[in-house]
Amino acid sequence: MSDLINTSKPVLPPQLARFVTATAGRNMTRPAYLVVLIGVGTMILLTVNPAYEAAHHWVDAILWTCLAFFAFEWLVRIRHAALAGRTMGYLTSMRGVMDAAAVVAIPGAILLGAPPKTAWLLSVLWLVKVIPAVPGLRQLRRVLVLESGPLLSVLTIFLIVLFLGSVTVYFFERDAQPGTFGSIPAALWWAVATLTTTGYGDVVPITPLGRLVAALVMISGLGVFGLWTGILATGFAAETRRDNFLKTWESVSKVPFFATLGPAAIADVTHMLRTIDLPPRVMIMRKGQQGDCMYFIASGEVEVDLPAGKKVRLSEGAFFGEMALLGNSLRSANISTTRLSKLLVLDLVDFRLLMARHPDLAQTIDAEAKRRELENK
Amino acid sequence: MSDLINTSKPVLPPQLARFVTATAGRNMTRPAYLVVLIGVGTMILLTVNPAYEAAHHWVDAILWTCLAFFAFEWLVRIRHAALAGRTMGYLTSMRGVMDAAAVVAIPGAILLGAPPKTAWLLSVLWLVKVIPAVPGLRQLRRVLVLESGPLLSVLTIFLIVLFLGSVTVYFFERDAQPGTFGSIPAALWWAVATLTTTGYGDVVPITPLGRLVAALVMISGLGVFGLWTGILATGFAAETRRDNFLKTWESVSKVPFFATLGPAAIADVTHMLRTIDLPPRVMIMRKGQQGDCMYFIASGEVEVDLPAGKKVRLSEGAFFGEMALLGNSLRSANISTTRLSKLLVLDLVDFRLLMARHPDLAQTIDAEAKRRELENK
Amino acid sequence: MSDLINTSKPVLPPQLARFVTATAGRNMTRPAYLVVLIGVGTMILLTVNPAYEAAHHWVDAILWTCLAFFAFEWLVRIRHAALAGRTMGYLTSMRGVMDAAAVVAIPGAILLGAPPKTAWLLSVLWLVKVIPAVPGLRQLRRVLVLESGPLLSVLTIFLIVLFLGSVTVYFFERDAQPGTFGSIPAALWWAVATLTTTGYGDVVPITPLGRLVAALVMISGLGVFGLWTGILATGFAAETRRDNFLKTWESVSKVPFFATLGPAAIADVTHMLRTIDLPPRVMIMRKGQQGDCMYFIASGEVEVDLPAGKKVRLSEGAFFGEMALLGNSLRSANISTTRLSKLLVLDLVDFRLLMARHPDLAQTIDAEAKRRELENK
Amino acid sequence: MSDLINTSKPVLPPQLARFVTATAGRNMTRPAYLVVLIGVGTMILLTVNPAYEAAHHWVDAILWTCLAFFAFEWLVRIRHAALAGRTMGYLTSMRGVMDAAAVVAIPGAILLGAPPKTAWLLSVLWLVKVIPAVPGLRQLRRVLVLESGPLLSVLTIFLIVLFLGSVTVYFFERDAQPGTFGSIPAALWWAVATLTTTGYGDVVPITPLGRLVAALVMISGLGVFGLWTGILATGFAAETRRDNFLKTWESVSKVPFFATLGPAAIADVTHMLRTIDLPPRVMIMRKGQQGDCMYFIASGEVEVDLPAGKKVRLSEGAFFGEMALLGNSLRSANISTTRLSKLLVLDLVDFRLLMARHPDLAQTIDAEAKRRELENK
């Protein structure tokens, strides 16, 4: 994909070419995050009168530059889609519409006669572009989709309580407070602030019966809250387990240490491990620290600073930190990554279970631990 | 049942006959939802003075039409119950009372001398008719019933804190603020708004000791909230598992693929599967998408768009999407339903476990996957 | 115990004797609940000026009567304890102190010169007597004790955020609002209302930096809330499982149906069952209803209304409702209790698992179901 | 380590020497807690004008004394670190920086010209020193780290809703309320108070469309709350299980009773036990109480008050309370600790499971129980 672009634009300097490729391929590049931040920040400044007066030339310049950036981003993506022969696919996709809106909305509003200060408010749409790049969003969405049934039920109950509450309180309060409870829409405003336990206090029942109904609405608010949370907590527990399994599964089968296990045992082991991704030069363990887990290297490399100043490198498939689990709980060396690495973490708790269920693995670890100790003495 | 009605009213046009049957059989038909929405919406309009002045003929007409609709619905159901010989059963059932109230309440109020604008407020009762039709309601109710013990305990604690808090704050504040804390009912109003963390701010303690007690009440509010939610979350987790098992169990035993399993294994498999119901012409998977689950057809039919333009139909008992779980994670064809179908979804996570525990199933899937690949080449 | 009292007071009419026995033995009798309710209700009335003026003779009379009731209760218990030779044990126990306080506090306050309207406020202590009788309280307390470690940590974090937040906001706001943020106690009042998300709005920061800190305090409030709830939810899940096991265990071993199982299987079965206690003449299932569970009678008796008008009684150890789990999901008879009964409920989900793991139980149930069907034809 | 200090400062009285050792070794000693409490309490008094006027000599004296205490603490720790040859390590560690800030900040602020009443506000930093000593903090931090992915996603969603909501409401309200909704920062203040359901009520939308958006923001607030709590609840459940296992594991392997078990069974048993640490002279069980658990002594000693006035001591490895689980649910003796003891608690629920899975353990307990009963008769 990136070759295609490099080939067709040989005149671009390499850094720009790389940026174009990144823009075409991913939702948000680092510069794009920066531009969104600056753009939205400047737009906020625009609404603060004294600040804007003092620096309105700068503010305008920054905003137009941000808009230009998004226009450029959009064009790169249209061109990229065109090369892949799916221009319409991109333009009508969620992402394409969002990209278009970010560029077209503001000039469009200005052309339609909106005052610039109002039109620039639409730059809040730039923020929406960040949403698909939120890392855990897929997981959140899965929970919301899988639990949509009970969540909708709770929402319906919420709405019914809202309407019943506001009609009843309207009935009791309309004569006492015709100004604030003069119509059901006004009572609904009160009810939503009460049922969500926000409680602004701008509209408050004053008759005894109105207050009684209000108290019931507040307590229902607690109940709705509790149901909502209970459903989401349940969904999250299941999803977290699943997500961890999926992330770990692939790595486990690549570690030779586990290769001797049958598929049932691998599934079992996968539930015990946790994957972590580390950038280069990160200290994984520090000498003298308390340790309660061991590590397997799924990919990448680590460097062990042995006491005598020796340095040993361990690569894919090796394990370390096992001494902490075999009785000696203080780490005996500093260990850090040398490059981007994916490690599998085995907790003390699960180590015990693993050793109990698969005694052969225990022997392998034990033998290796003894070999290392001898070597280091 | 519907035959009975069709026979006895042969003069009805077929569409109306179908609607009558639906009204008699189900709690809420689609037109009924619409009428509730329009009716309640119009009633809200009625309370907004300028809007009502401008269009009061229309508003009145719509409200009376809605009432007529519910009267018609009620009569159909009474007649239907009479034909089945259980008129009294229907009239005294929850549903019968709700249907009657929706029709009788408003004219009754007008006859008793209530001004029409007040009487129409009772149309909020129409909303109550929707409650039994909320889909997840049975599940919610089961949780509330099963956990009623601890929930009632928390409610009692809530009430005791409420009374202790309001008496204490009344004692400290009555001299400082005789207007707002002049009696215990007034202090109770403050306490309920505080303990639910609503916090209107219309009644606020001002003496140091009153504020100290108020702070304790607020923190108790957090605790009550937490207990409430904890109980509901626990109940929901159990209920969700149970509900899913019940929905899936029946379908599993119908899929021939699982027929070779003993009852223990079927119970095991049922815990791994998830049921989804799809209307016709829904795209289940799209070519090139990332896949992490496979599907079994419990009922219905799907159509596979093979690369060469060939179309293959799979019916009840077949499975598809297994390639995603056997190493090739990109979907290789578009698949969509041709009619209302019930599918069983097996996630990658559970697929691993299933394969490990039942290697014979793994072989079946593997063999079928290879056969298909050969065929497609 | 009750014999002792009956013997020593032979002149008491039987009903009063029974009441005395109940008062001595239990924390709260039914009349005691009523007296608490009336007493506290009347005390509330006392503080409402116009209501009190109008009926102050009645109000005073009721309050003194309630006090007399608690004095009587206290004396009965002291005498009962004296007969058992542990007067001091009772007087210094939690319950004894509460009983004494309920009686002595109000006259004591009047003697010490408090105006009667103030002294009667102490009748809120009567409410405290109800606490030990709250049914699920033991369970709640166990959760709070077992999770006290993490709960205290969250409370400490809560307090530290509270102090840091209020000192910072005091620093930013004291010059802008010397009236409301004039000292740290005032700022603490603001902070506690904010951190618990109550938000009265009587004290609100107005400087930009103060508002920024306030926003952070609010978001921390969400976090504290979430942690608190998470801990309680976890504790409750464990406690509910344990509680259910304890309640069910004893009953299971008494049902002959499960007698053939080994101890491991009984522990297994106990996790699947749920105990319910039913008063006499409660309808357990209704003919034609959808059924998804079967019942075992741990104690008591039920009556089956068979279709032909025959009535059959099933007693301890029998089971019913099994047809719903064997394919025919509609209940075929009305069944109700004849006296106080304890039933064990087996859900469809767990029935499947039970049948899979213990095929011999499946045969027993199957055979009995067939026998009954033959008999009913 | 403590020897080193005692040797180097032989002139110190033993109590002071012990305190110096404690200060050097632990984060917070008991006197340190007291000084923090007094110091922060006095600082709060400082801001209350009339209280300060009346006692400002005392207030100043106390604050300077507290500062001196922390200076002393800091010096002891620097010296201790110097003796161990890692002065720089201590000074640049989190703890070292906190210790330094607690001492240097206030005099520094005074030297830089801040009025003393303002400078002393910095004594809130003393509170920060308490944080690392909060017991469950490690556990809380692990949950936050492990769940940081989904928590950050929810925070991002929170922020995006915040900005979208405030821009929209600003657009609708700016003309109606130029005073309160005059700029987006003002609207953000409203949005954060609404989305966290705090709801001060100082800034409230009044236009119909503004209120509609506000209602959506409030409901989103509930959703954010629910997600946040759900994630934390899930994390806590996993962490609690893990923490308990780690604490119990070591003790289990030391109890001879479990020594005959293989490693798999020990892992199994560890999940069933709960560790409690008790100071000397604590009553563990009281004669006549209802019992539902038995105890194993992992370390320490308990004393049994037998009925005949005999006293028996049980030490490490012994068990007691087993009768409650073998049918006789009332405790038959008072048992209390004689010194600091660590006990393993086995609940009735888990006792049943243990007996079922390891019948040999059941026999050992049964035999011992019979022997004891004979002995006591």
pLDDT digits (tens, 9 = 90+) for B66-120: 999 999 999 998 988 888 888 888 888 888 898 999 999 999 999 999 998 889 9
Q: For residue B29, what pLDDT is reported? A: 80
Measured distance CA(C240)–CA(D326) in Å, rounded: 23
Please tell me if residue C112 touches chain D, with a CB cutoff of 8 Å: no
Residue C3, pLDDT > 60, answer: no
Tens of pLDDT, residue by residue over B125-138, are: 998 888 877 777 77
Q: For residue B162, what pLDDT is reported? A: 93
Measured distance CA(D146)–CA(D165) in Å, rounded: 30
CB pairs under 8 A between C and D: 151
β-bridge mates for residue B139, sequence order: none
Chains that touch A (3 or more CB pairs under 8 A): B, C, D
What is the mean pLDDT of the segment spanning C268-274?
Answer: 82
Please tell me if residue C229 touches chain A, with a CB cutoff of 8 Å: yes
Residue A319, pLDDT > 90, answer: no
Q: For residue D376, what pLDDT is reported? A: 66
What is the mean pLDDT of the segment spanning C283-301?
Answer: 85
Q: Which residue has the higher pLDDT, C52 or C175?
A: C175
Please tell me if residue B233 touches chain D, with a CB cutoff of 8 Å: yes
Q: Which residue has the higher pLDDT, A340 or D9?
A: A340
Other beta carbons within 10 angstroms of residue D339's beta carbon come to: 12
Residues of B in contact with D235 (CB under 8 A): none
Inter-chain CB proximity D201 and B200 less than 8 Å: yes
β-bridge mates for residue A320, sequence order: A295
Measured distance CA(A323)–CA(A329) in Å, rounded: 7
Measured distance CA(A167)–CA(C265) in Å, rounded: 56
Nearest to B167 among C121, C233, C352 (CB): C121
Q: For residue A195, what pLDDT is reported? A: 92
Nearest to C199 among B188, B199, B222 (CB): B199
- φ, ψ (nearest 5 deg) of residue C114: -70, 140
Tens of pLDDT, residue by residue over A187-227, are: 999 999 999 989 898 999 999 999 999 999 998 888 888 88
Measured distance CA(A45)–CA(A47) in Å, rounded: 5
Which of C195, C229, C329 is the best residue to mutate to test the B interface, defined by the most B CB atoms within 10 Å of its own CB?
A: C229
Measured distance CA(D319)–CA(D369) in Å, rounded: 10
Query: Which residues, numbered 11 to 70 in chain D, qualify as contacts with chain C under a Cβ-Cβ cut-off of 8 Å?
Result: 40, 43-44, 47-49
Residue C325, pLDDT > 80, answer: no
Q: For residue A67, what pLDDT is reported? A: 94
A162-172 burial, b at 16+ Cβ within 10 Å, e below that, comes to bbbbbbbbbbb
Q: For residue B328, what pLDDT is reported? A: 66
Inter-chain CB proximity B199 and A201 less than 8 Å: yes
Residue A357, pLDDT > 50, answer: yes
Q: For residue D100, what pLDDT is reported? A: 92
Q: For residue B2, what pLDDT is reported? A: 44
Chains that touch D (3 or more CB pairs under 8 A): A, B, C
Q: For residue C6, what pLDDT is reported? A: 45
β-bridge mates for residue D293, sequence order: D347
Please tell me if residue A201 touches chain D, with a CB cutoff of 8 Å: yes
Inter-chain CB proximity A170 and B198 less than 8 Å: no
Quick one: residue A354, left, alpha or beta (phi over 0 = left, psi -120 to 50 = alpha)?
Answer: alpha
What is the mean pLDDT of the segment spanning B244-269?
Answer: 76
Q: Which residue has the higher pLDDT, A160 or A3?
A: A160
Which residues have CB under 8 Å from A91's CB, separation 6+?
Answer: A78, A81, A97, A100
Q: For residue C376, what pLDDT is reported? A: 66
Measured distance CA(A39)–CA(A25) in Å, rounded: 22
CA end-to-end span of chain D: 53
Please tell me if residue A201 touches chain B, with a CB cutoff of 8 Å: yes
Please tell me if residue D135 touches chain A, with a CB cutoff of 8 Å: no
pLDDT class for B260, splitting at 50, 70, 90? confident
| Strands of the sheet with C341-347, listed across from one edge | C273-278, C341-347, C293-299, C319-320
Nearest to B199 among D199, D230, D233 (CB): D199
Q: For residue C337, what pLDDT is reported? A: 92
What is the mean pLDDT of the segment spanning D321-344?
Answer: 83
Nearest to D204 among A200, A353, A355 (CB): A200
Please tell me if residue A367 touches chain B, with a CB cutoff of 8 Å: no
Measured distance CA(A370)–CA(B69) in Å, rounded: 85
- φ, ψ (nearest 5 deg) of residue D19: -65, -40
Select the highest-mean-pLDDT range: A363-372, C108-117, D248-257, D300-309: C108-117
The distance of C181 to chain B (nearest Cα, Å) reads 13
- φ, ψ (nearest 5 deg) of residue A284: -85, -45
pLDDT class for D207, splitting at 50, 70, 90? very high
Please tell me if residue D139 touches chain C, with a CB cutoff of 8 Å: yes
Please tell me if residue D200 touches chain B, with a CB cutoff of 8 Å: yes
Asked if D351 and D294 touch (Cβ cutoff 8 Å), the reply is yes
Which residues have CB under 8 Å from D129's CB, separation 6+?
Answer: D27, D28, D32, D36, D98, D99, D102
Nearest to A189 among D154, D211, D237 (CB): D211
- CA-based nearest residue to C169, from C208, C214, C221: C214
Q: For residue B212, what pLDDT is reported? A: 94
Which of B229, B231, B232, B234 is the best residue to mutate to test the D interface, defined by the most D CB atoms within 10 Å of its own CB?
A: B229
- φ, ψ (nearest 5 deg) of residue A69: -60, -45
pLDDT class for D10, splitting at 50, 70, 90? low
Nearest to A201 among B128, B200, B348 (CB): B200
Mean pLDDT of chain D: 84
Select the highest-mean-pLDDT range: B290-294, C95-99, D15-19: C95-99
Q: For residue A194, what pLDDT is reported? A: 93
> Between the CA of residue A23 and those of A28, A31, A74, A77, A99, what are the distances in Å?
7, 10, 9, 7, 12
Which of C48, C218, C229 is the best residue to mutate to test the A interface, defined by the most A CB atoms within 10 Å of its own CB?
A: C229
Inter-chain CB proximity D197 and B197 less than 8 Å: yes
Other beta carbons within 10 angstroms of residue A255's beta carbon come to: 19
Q: For residue C377, what pLDDT is reported? A: 61
Please tell me if residue C208 touches chain A, with a CB cutoff of 8 Å: no
Residue D106, pLDDT > 90, answer: yes
Please tell me if residue B229 touches chain D, with a CB cutoff of 8 Å: yes
Of all residues in chain B, the one with the smallest CA distance to A245 is B349
Residue C94, pLDDT > 70, answer: yes
Q: For residue D235, what pLDDT is reported? A: 83
Q: For residue B151, what pLDDT is reported? A: 85
- CA-based nearest residue to D198, from B217, B27, C202: C202
Q: For residue C150, what pLDDT is reported? A: 81
Q: Which residue has the higher pLDDT, D13 or D170?
A: D170
Measured distance CA(D105)–CA(D101) in Å, rounded: 5
The distance of B29 to chain C (nearest Cα, Å) reads 23
Of all residues in chain B, the one with the smallest CA distance to C203 is B201
Please tell me if residue D231 touches chain C, with a CB cutoff of 8 Å: yes
Tokens 């028996």 sit on residue? D312
Residue C10, pLDDT > 60, answer: no
Residue A11, pLDDT > 70, answer: no
Query: Which residues, numbered 268 to 307 in chain D, qualify as contacts with chain C under a Cβ-Cβ cut-off of 8 Å?
Result: 274, 292
Inter-chain CB proximity A200 and C201 less than 8 Å: yes
Flag whether the ipTM exceeds 0.85.
no
Which residues have CB under 8 Å from C112's CB, separation 6+?
Answer: none
Radius of gyration, alpha carbons of chain A: 30
Inter-chain CB proximity D262 and A356 less than 8 Å: yes
Nearest to D134 among C153, C208, C246 (CB): C153
What is the mean pLDDT of the segment spanning C226-240?
Answer: 81
Of all residues in chain D, the one with the smallest CA distance to B197 is D198
Measured distance CA(B342)–CA(B270) in Å, rounded: 15
Residues of A in contact with B140 (CB under 8 A): 150, 153-154, 157, 227
Single-letter code of the amino acid located at A58:
W
The distance of A7 to chain D (nearest Cα, Å) reads 38
Residue D163, pLDDT > 80, answer: yes
Nearest to C267 among D185, D192, D353 (CB): D353
The distance of C29 to chain D (nearest Cα, Å) reads 22
- CA-based nearest residue to A167, from B12, C44, C196, B119: B119
Q: For residue D67, what pLDDT is reported? A: 94
Inter-chain CB proximity A150 and B201 less than 8 Å: no
Q: For residue A10, what pLDDT is reported? A: 52
- CA-based nearest residue to C293, from C272, C270, C267: C272
Percent of chain C with pLDDT over 70: 94
- CA-based nearest residue to C321, from C307, C339, C336, C308: C336
β-bridge mates for residue C296, sequence order: C319, C344
Q: For residue D62, what pLDDT is reported? A: 93
Counting every residue, how long is chain C? 377
Measured distance CA(B374)–CA(B189) in Å, rounded: 75
Tens of pLDDT, residue by residue over D70-80, are: 999 899 989 88
Residues of A in contact with B127 (CB under 8 A): 160, 163-164
Annotate A219-266 with DSSP letters as a single string: HHHHHHHHHHHHHHHHHHHHHHHHHHHHHHHHHHHH-GGGTTS-HHHH
> Between the CA of residue D275 and those of A292, D249, D346, what are the distances in Å?
19, 9, 9
What distance separates the 2 farthest-apart alpha carbons in chain A? 91
What is the mean pLDDT of the segment spanning A300-307?
Answer: 86
D99-111 burial, b at 16+ Cβ within 10 Å, e below that, comes to bbbbbebbeebee
Nearest to A233 among C199, C200, C233 (CB): C233
Residue A258, pLDDT > 90, answer: no
* Lowest mean pLDDT across B48-57, B279-288, C167-176, D246-255: D246-255
Q: For residue C138, what pLDDT is reported? A: 76
Residue D5, pLDDT > 50, answer: no
Helices (H) and strands (E) in chain B, counts: 15, 8
Tokens 């019968």 sit on residue? B96
The distance of B231 to chain D (nearest Cα, Å) reads 12
Mean pLDDT of chain A: 84
Mean pLDDT of chain C: 84
Measured distance CA(B71)–CA(B326) in Å, rounded: 60
Chains that touch B (3 or more CB pairs under 8 A): A, C, D
Of all residues in chain D, the one with the smallest CA distance to A117 is D171
Asked if A24 and A74 touch (Cβ cutoff 8 Å), the reply is no
- CA-based nearest residue to C96, from C114, C123, C78, C71: C78
Which residues have CB under 8 Å from D68's CB, separation 6+?
Answer: none
Residue D215, pLDDT > 60, answer: yes
Q: For residue B5, what pLDDT is reported? A: 45
Residues of A in contact with B347 (CB under 8 A): 242
CB pairs under 8 A between B and D: 11
The distance of B372 to chain A (nearest Cα, Å) reads 24
